[in-house]
Amino acid sequence: MTDYVPGTGDDWARIEPRDAGFDPSGLEAAMAFAVDHESTMNRDIAKALEGGHFSEPPPLGDIIGPTAPRGDPSGIILRGGRIVAEWGPTHRADMTFSVTKSYLSIIAGLAVDDRIIPDIRHPVGELVDDGGFEAEQNRAITWEHLLQQTSEWEGTLFGKPDLVDRHRQLDLPPGAPSKKGTHRDLQPPGAFWEYNDVRVNRLSLALLRVLRRPLPEILRRRIMDPIGASDDWSWHGYINSWVEVAGGGGQPMPSVSGGAHWGGGLFIPARDHARVGLLMQRGGQWGGRRLLSEDWVKACTTPSALNPHYGYLWWLNGDGKHYPSAPASSFFAMGVGSNVIWIDPTLDLVAVVRWIDKPHVDGFIRQVMAART
Q: What is the pLDDT of residues 142-200, one digit of tens each?
A: 999 999 999 999 999 999 999 998 988 777 666 667 788 889 999 999 999 999 999 99
CA distance linking residue 157 with residue 59, whole number of Å: 14
CB of 223 within 8 A of CB of 286? no
Specify the pTM: 0.96
Q: Which CATH class is domain 42-73+89-324?
A: alpha beta
Asked if residue 241 has a cis previous peptide bond (ω within 30° of 0), the answer is no
pLDDT in tens, 64-101: 999 999 999 999 999 999 999 999 999 999 999 999 99
| Three-state secondary structure call for residue 173 | coil
Confidence at residue 1, expressed as pLDDT on a 0 to 100 scale: 44
pLDDT in tens, 258-298: 999 999 999 999 999 999 999 999 999 999 999 999 999 99
CA distance linking residue 168 with residue 41, whole number of Å: 19
| Distant-in-sequence, close-in-space partners of 165: CB < 8 Å, separation ≥ 6 | 180, 181, 194, 195, 196, 197, 198, 199
Task: Show me where the domains of the chain are located.
Answer: 42-73+89-324
